[in-house]
Structure 1
């Protein structure tokens, strides 16, 4: 199934949750998944709901990686 991730189409498997997507992207990029905020169809998905939120065909997902510094 296809979703839109940060403005780009992405093919994912059925039954994927927000948590699994974040982990997949973390594995691919090496970035820490703990510092990610997720918006699904223009609504923030609280971290407490990442594992329970199933992605659906056509969902528009925006991921923002927090970056610390000094």
Structure 2
């Protein structure tokens, strides 16, 4: 991964998103998991939005 977190919160969000990515890959190999994968993608997107907010705040503080 080429991105280095700016804060502990960002690190936690990155780790959580990576875990969801792993779960999505595993679920893709199982039948009848479409709904679960959709739910995980929605959660991933919510985490990404939180991460974007944290990154923006961190950039404001360093600017």
Query: What is the TM-score when the length of structure 1 is the normalising length?
Result: 0.21
Which protein has the bigger helix share? 2
Which has more radius of gyration? 2
Query: What is the TM-score when the length of structure 2 is the normalising length?
Result: 0.23
